[in-house]
Amino acid sequence: MATAQGVRPSLVDPEAEGAYPERRRELQEYRLRRLVDRLLAADGMQAGRLRDCGVSRGSDVGLDQLHRLPFVCQQDFWDHYPFGLRAASEADIVCVHGSSGTMGRTTLVPYTAHDVDVWAQVMARALGGAGVTRRSFVHCAYGYGLFTGGLGVHHGATRLGATVVPVSSGATDRQLRLLLDLRPDVLCCTPSYAIYLGEALASTGIVAEQLSLRVGLFGAEPWTAEMRLSIEGLLGLRALNIYGLTEVIGPGVACESLDSEGLLNIAEDHFYPEVVGPDGAPLPAGEVGELVFTTLTKTGTPLLRYRTGDVASLSGPAPGSARTLRRMSRVFGRTDDMLVIRGTNVFPSEIETVLLADRRVAPHYLIVEDRRDQSRPELRIAVEPRDPHGDAEVLERELAGALYARLGISCIVRVLPPDHLPREESGKTPRLVRWEHGVVPLPGLE
C-alpha cells in the first residue's frame, strides 16, 4: 500500500463505486421507491407522514420530488424510544447500536442482517479507498459496544480480508505495546485519540519513524486540516476523514480516499444525500447547509430524509478518479453547536482552525460559552502551549487577535499549563461547554 499523494487505490466494488452517474441515479430512483413501499408496509410514523403528503405507494415518488417528502429527525427517535422507528419484524433484527446523541439522550437503532451486510460493504470500500488490502493489519481503537465505531471498522476490515486487531478504546499502554509489537499499517480511532496516542508515544521517547503505520481513518467527531497536520506529524501516517452516524448506519456513510482530494466519497448508492437550508429547502451543490440522508437500502430502521444536524456541502466526483461517487466536505459543525455570540455565528471548528494554525499551541483546547450574563455572552477559550516555557501572555494576546481577525468577535483566551485540559481516552472529546451558572467549568478560565 502506498500513501503518497496521487496514489489511486483500486475500487473494492467497481460496479457500485465506479458506476456511470446516470446509471447510479436509476438505481437510486428504484431503491427510493422500494424504500417508500417498505415504510408504508411497516405502517409506522413515517408511513403516516407519507400518506399525509398524498403518497400511497412507492411509484408515487421520484428523486426529483424528494424535496416534497417529509423529514425525519433525532427528536422522532426520542419520541418513539426505544424502537418505534423499526420497520422490520422483531425476529429479523440481529443487533442494536446507539449513540448518546449530541444532547445527551440515547438514540437506539435496530439493524437487520441485511443492514449489517451493507455496513460491512460500505466500510470495506472506505478502507479500500485508503489503500487497505487483504495484507493489511488494522489497529481498531474505536470503542466496541453500542457505539458503531469499533464494530463498523471491524465488519469492513474482515469483509476486505484484512487482519483486524480489535483493541477498542482506552488502556493506552497496551495500545502502544501492540502498535510496536504487531506493527499494524492502519490505525482507526477518533482524531482526538490519535493525538492522545501520538503524545503518549512521544512521551516514551518513541518517534513516528519507529512505527509501521501508513494510513489512518479518523472520525466520529469534527476535526480540521490543522488537526490533520498534528496527527500526521505525531504518527507518521496519512490521516483520512471518515464520517457516519448510528441512525444512518455508523462509519462508512462517507470517507476520504487517497485520491478524493480532501473530500469524502459518499456511499450514495445506499445513502442518498441532500443539503438543506434552515427552512428545509434543498441547496445546490457547493452550498453549506444541513446534511440530510435517505437510507435507500436499509431494512431495520429505514429513514426517509433524515436531518443529521451536521453542517457540510456536497460536490461532484473527484475529477479523473475511478470513483464516480459524489463527495461531501468535512463536517464544519452541527446546527445545534453553532454559537451565536453577540450576533455573530461561529462554529467551534473555525476556532480550532485558528488555534491550531499557531505552532505554539498544542492540539488540545476547550471552548466555554459563558452565558452567565445572557445579554453579553463571552467566549472563553483554554489552550495548552507546546513549550511550557513560552510567554503565555503574549500567546494569549496574539491568539485573541487572530480569533478577532478571523471571526470578528473578541474572545478571552487563557493559556493553561500542559496536561491541564481534560483528555478523553475512550471516545469523543468534548470541545464545547456552556457555562450558565455555578463554578467555572475549568479552573484557570475565570
- Piece of the chain touching ligand DLL by CB under 6 A; list 41-49, 217-225, 271-279, 373-381: 217-225
Q: Select the span of 112-120, 229-237, 246-254, 281-289 touching ligand DLL (CB under 6 A).
A: 246-254
What is the nearest approach in angstroms of ligand DLL to the Cβ of residue 444?
A: 28
- Judged by beta carbon, residue 153 or residue 421, the one nearer ligand DLL is 153
CB 301 within 8 A of CB 320: no
CB of 250 to ligand DLL, least distance (A): 5
Closest CA to 288 of 223, 343, 336, 335: 335
- Of the listed pieces 83-91, 214-222, 340-348, 415-423, which binds ligand DLL according to CB under 6 A? 214-222
Closer CB to ligand DLL, 40 or 248, in the complex: 248
Number of residues that bind ligand DLL (CB under 6 A): 21
User: Which range in 4-12, 158-166, 241-249, 404-412 contacts ligand DLL by CB under 6 A?
Assistant: 241-249
Which one, 158 or 410, has the nearer CB to ligand DLL?
A: 158
Q: Distance between CA atoms of 379 and 315, rounded to whole angstroms?
A: 33
Handedness of CA 224, 226, 229, 235 (dihedral sign): negative
Pick one of 246, 257, 301, 321: the residue that binds ligand DLL (CB under 6 A): 246
Q: Are strands 344-346 and 339-341 parallel, antiparallel or unpaired?
A: antiparallel
Contacting ligand DLL within 251-290 (CB under 6 A): 251
Angle at 249 between CA 273 and CA 38, to 5 degrees: 75
Could you say which of 37, 199, 221, 424 contacts ligand DLL (CB under 6 A)?
Answer: 221
Residue 383, beta-bridge partner list? 365, 415
Q: Would you give the binding string for ligand DLL spanning residues 308-347, x where CB under 6 A is met? A: x-x--------------------x--x-------------
Interaxial angle between packed helices 21-42 and 45-52, expressed in degrees from 0 to 180 and rounded to the nearest 10: 110
Q: How far is the CB of 349 from ligand DLL (least distance, A)?
A: 8
Which of 58/244 has CB closer to ligand DLL? 244
Applying CB under 6 A, which of residues 58, 110, 184, 250 lies at the interface with ligand DLL? 250
Residue 389 and residue 130: Cα distance in Å, rounded?
39
Cα dist from 144 to 154, 174, 281, whole Å: 9, 16, 37
One of 58, 128, 129, 149 touching ligand DLL (CB under 6 A): 149
Q: The dihedral of CA 34, 38, 43, 45: what is its sign?
A: negative
Stretch that binds ligand DLL, among 38-46, 60-68, 132-140, 142-150 (CB under 6 A): 142-150
In the complex with ligand DLL, which residue's Cβ is closer, 192 or 241?
A: 241
Rule CB under 6 A: say whether 226 interacts with ligand DLL: no
Positions touching ligand DLL (CB under 6 A) are 99, 142, 147-149, 219-222, 241-246, 250-251, 308, 310, 331, 334
